[in-house]
Amino acid sequence: MAAAAVALTVLGAPSARAEGRGDIRIIKKVVDGGTNVIVGVSKPVTFPIRMTVKDNSGVKGVDRVSTFSTHNRGGPVEWIDTSCVKKSKTTSDCTATKYVDPKAMPYVSDRDPDGIAGQWQVDATVNANDKDYWISDRIALYQFKRAATLTTDASPEPVSEGKKLTVKGKLSQASWKDLEYHGVGGQKVTLQFRKAGATSYKNVATVKVISAGDSVKLG
């Protein structure tokens, strides 16, 4: 569950399979800046997969970068392009740009498109100037999530200092089956407050949404 477009950085994730020739290796990798990839119901999402590649002869480029669910292998994520910037004689920083359109989500699975949410992996093939190459599965792991929204309304407005303020809200999550947002239950919602001039929020109250579609009342 996440409420903002926020993928996980994994350095040294265990490879499911790796093969190649020579000393070329991917020594660092970051998906979407180390956040989660969040996909809603209408807006296409573009995200980068960044890799630092090293070989004693220098890096020629990247042949293939694929990404998919570790448990379902589905997902309509397209590979737009890859660019590499030479950092030294032996090292280059390469970025593969990925694109996903929510409108394609309903067609990725005959059972449950929402089931492809969760942990995803990245596979990549890199090449060196001396014809060394490295094919590696699972160079990185990250979270691919359905977007969530929280609508709120406070009353009365304005409210006098020391008086009771009631806040009502509804928690919804994107469904890739019908490309709509639906209320979700079983989640805890916390109301926070920050005084004018303060730098941090304080928890005021926490409630649990019992049933999908229920309104939450805090006050």
Q: Is 9 part of a structural domain of the chain?
A: no
Residue 71's pLDDT is: 87
Q: Are residues 177 and 195 in the same domain?
A: yes
Are residue 180 and residue 114 in the same domain, yes or no?
A: no
146, 180, 203 - which closes a domain? 146
Q: In this structure, are 104 and 195 located in the same domain?
A: no
pLDDT score, position 36: 96
Planar angle of CA 152, 218, 188, nearest 5 degrees: 85
- My answer on whether 33 and 57 are in the same domain is yes
Q: Smallest Cα–Cα separation from 92: which of 62, 53, 126?
A: 53
Q: Do 118 and 158 fall into the same domain?
A: no
Q: Is residue 7 part of a domain?
A: no
pLDDT of residue 108: 84
pLDDT number for residue 187: 75
Checking phi first, is residue 33 left (phi over 0); if not, alpha (psi -120 to 50) or beta?
Answer: left
The whole domain housing 209 covers 148-218
**Is residue 1 situated within a structural domain?**
no
Residue 45 placed within a domain? yes
Contact 176, 128 (CB under 8 A): no
Q: Are residues 190 and 180 in the same domain?
A: yes
CA distance 137 to 16: 5
Backbone angles phi and psi of 161, in degrees to 5: -60, 135
Residues of the chain scoring pLDDT < 50:
1-15, 216
pLDDT of residue 125: 96
On whether both 126 and 199 belong to a single domain, the answer is no
Q: What is the per-residue pLDDT for 162? A: 76
174 in any annotated domain: yes
pLDDT of residue 209: 66
Q: Is residue 193 part of a domain?
A: yes
Same domain, 135 and 168: no
Instruction: Indicate whether 133 and 175 sit together in one domain.
Output: no
Q: Are residues 43 and 79 in the same domain?
A: yes
Output the pLDDT for position 174. Answer: 96
Q: For residue 5, what pLDDT is reported?
A: 30
Q: How many domains does the chain have?
A: 2
What does pTM read for this prediction? 0.79
